[in-house]
Structure 1
Amino acid sequence: MWRWIRWLTLVLVALFIASFLPWSISSQAIALPDSLPAASPPESMRVSALPTGTMHSSAMLAFRGGNPLENRDFSMTAVLVQHPRGDLLIDTGFGREVDDQVKLLPLLMQLTTDYDKTTPAAEQLITQGYDLKSLVGVILTHAHWDHVSGLDSLRNTPVLVPTTEQAFISDGGDNSALARQLSADHLKSYAFVNKPYLGFAQQFDVWGDGSVVLVPAPGHTPGSVLVFLTLPSGQRLALLGDLVWQLDGITQLAEKPWIARQLIDEDTDAVRDAIAHVSAIAKKFPQVKLLPAHDAKAMGSLPVYPSTLR
């Protein structure tokens, strides 16, 4: 009996240590262009945030090597991009049924997080007098539940994903079950073109003016994307989805803790490669503002609709 207890204790200690030791990720070998890609965003383009809630946890569960005694907030925020050719919502944050959806999370995640919710993104827009018909699509950085939850209020809006993420949603797995339920009738796929963008081999320029450019960053899910925005002022934003949960993941080259990677990352090697790539971009082009989807401090720097960045 004691032999099994000692064995189990050693396994748990080993897993704990493995969760927090640094991993060798290097951004030194990433080839980047000499300048940022050209873009000509229209003068009327605007960007704003729609916060829908916050999860509360610790830095230990936010990134590898995080302090277990340091509290961290995980934002659940949709980003509205207003463009004369049609408005886009990037991710959706929490929807109306979030209380029931949280109960479907792995038990460990339920036990180690607490959350607050506000008003779903679509309802915030309606309250401010926004016409939802102006939305031509919801761009998902990936199809996990906390990024699609708010689709329950956007049943008539197309949901845009790359073909690889469409397959991920359709394959019947638990991690895409909610996306399959909420977007089945309005899912539309797009294909990347073989044109480099900041060192990525492919891109999808939504409006053809460089204002909203998507690049593939598989790993967290097979079709995860990064969203690069260029505003009329020249400001550059990079929406990182769940490549990392907190900006520390980029600045410290730190992936998610071991247990989180096992639960939700589809390809950890691909995630490490993308972290190294984005870290290299951050070093060479510090004017690009990095916004991990769940970094409350970073996402909180965006003005809340109806206030906007321009």
Structure 2
Amino acid sequence: MSPLHLPTAWSEPLPEAAPPREMALHQLPTGTYETRAVFAFKGGSFSDKRDFAATSVLVQHPKGDLLIDAGFGSQVAAHIQSLPRIERAPYRLGSTVSEQLKASGYDRGQLRGVLVTHSHWDHVSGLDDLQVPVWINEGELEYAGKDKGGRVFREVTSSHPMHRYEFKGGPYLGFSSSLDVYDDGSVVVVPARGHTTGSVITFVTLPTGKRYAFIGDLTWQLDAIRLRAERPLLLRILADTDPKLVREDMLRMIALADTMEIVPSHDVTAYDGIPLLPT
């Protein structure tokens, strides 16, 4: 297996950020489904069974909170059943995001919406239990409206308001444009259009200075970043709308790997260190 070439590590100063001291980050794991590593990244073993995470992340901010993705919802069994048979996998449903928010006594009036990294079923299933705006860009909304991969999204968001955002900001960490959600550099969204036509990466900077990059399905596991390993060829053809763009953005993230925690949506271990929502 030949890895991607090693890009030059990021050596410029990181973008300025002024996160308020009240800002916090929590993980809300909603379940897992089983996939073999051989299908996740080049060089993965067939005997290596991985539990793929379906985890939402809550960003708490004085200007209003955001969830990044929605994880599994209460109707996940039906959502999985709607997939082609070859895509169905053994899964485990834990507590949905909605159930976790309720158990913690969370005030949903603080929640501005759910920012989806992209519209595939395992990122949006939980929207059917969350009647809040869906933050989505026009490219992803168009993809979700017509691609077979957006079927579950169309079902669970039929009554949801759509908060359409644009990338009106300038370049950010090598990406061509950006959206500074709170205008303080604490949460910055950039386009990463290779997996789907409107996929995004969300950079989060905490008051401690700790930085995270929630990369959605740019890669499925951290091994892909560490080993510079793309998806296997067949999976690149089947799963990505533009494998070349995925490769380019992977190299950008590999170059940033020493500056922040990179969190692929489906790597259970990548969420280590992010606290659960207190109950």
Instruction: Please indicate the TM-score interval, normalised by the length of the shorter structure.
Output: over 0.9
- TM alignment of 1:1-310, pairs within 5 A: 21-22=1-2, 25-28=4-7, 32=10, 34-110=12-88, 113-155=89-131, 157-170=132-145, 172-184=146-158, 185-282=160-257, 286-306=258-278
Matched residues in 2 for 1:76 and 1:297: separation?
Answer: 12
Higher mean C-alpha deviation, range 45-54 or range 172-181: 172-181
The normalised TM-score by structure 2 is 0.95
Structure 1, residues 100-144: CA drift from partner, whole Å, max 9, x if none? Answer: 11112232222xx32111111011111111122211011011110
Deviation (angstroms), 1:230: 0.3
Residue aligned with 1:263, SS? helix
For 1:50, give the aligned amino acid. L
> 5+ residue gaps in structure 2?
none
> Partner amino acid for 1:249?
A
Q: Based on CA coordinates, which of the two structures has the bigger radius of gyration?
A: 1
* Alpha-carbon distance between aligned partners in 2 of 1:106 and 1:177, rounded to the nearest angstrom: 12
In the alignment, the residues of structure 2 paired with residue 163 and residue 108 of structure 1 have an alpha-carbon distance, to the nearest angstrom, of 30
* Superposed displacement of residue 263, structure 1: 2.6
The aligned residue for residue 13 of structure 1 is none
Q: Distance in 1 between matches of 2:26 and 2:34?
A: 23
* C-alpha separation in 2, matches of 1:52 and 1:194: 33
Unaligned runs of 5+ in 1: 1-20
- Between the aligned partners of 1:119 and 1:159, the Cα distance in structure 2 is 21
One-letter identity of the residue aligned with 2:45: N
The DSSP-based 3-state class of the residue aligned with 1:100 is helix
Q: Which amino acid aligns with 1:34?
A: E
- Aligned sequence identity (%): 43
* Conserved 8 A contact 1:42-1:232: yes
CA distance in 1, matches of 2:149, 2:117: 14
**Runs of 4+ residues over 3 Å off in structure 1:** none
**Deviation at 1:255?**
1.4
C-alpha distance in structure 2 between counterparts of 1:167 and 1:274, whole Å: 21
Write the deviation string for residues 240-262 of structure 1: whole angstroms up to 9, x where unpaired. 10000000111111112233323
**Does the CA contact (< 8 Å) of 1:122 and 1:154 recur in 2?**
yes
Length-normalised TM-score, structure 1? 0.85
Q: Compute the RMSD of aligned alpha carbons.
A: 1.6
SS of equivalent to 1:198: coil
Contact 1:78–1:89, Cα closer than 8 Å, also in 2: yes
Letter of the structure 1 residue corresponding to residue 163 of structure 2: K
Residue identity matched to 2:265: A
Deviations 1:58-92 (A, max 9, x none): 21122111011222221110000000000000001
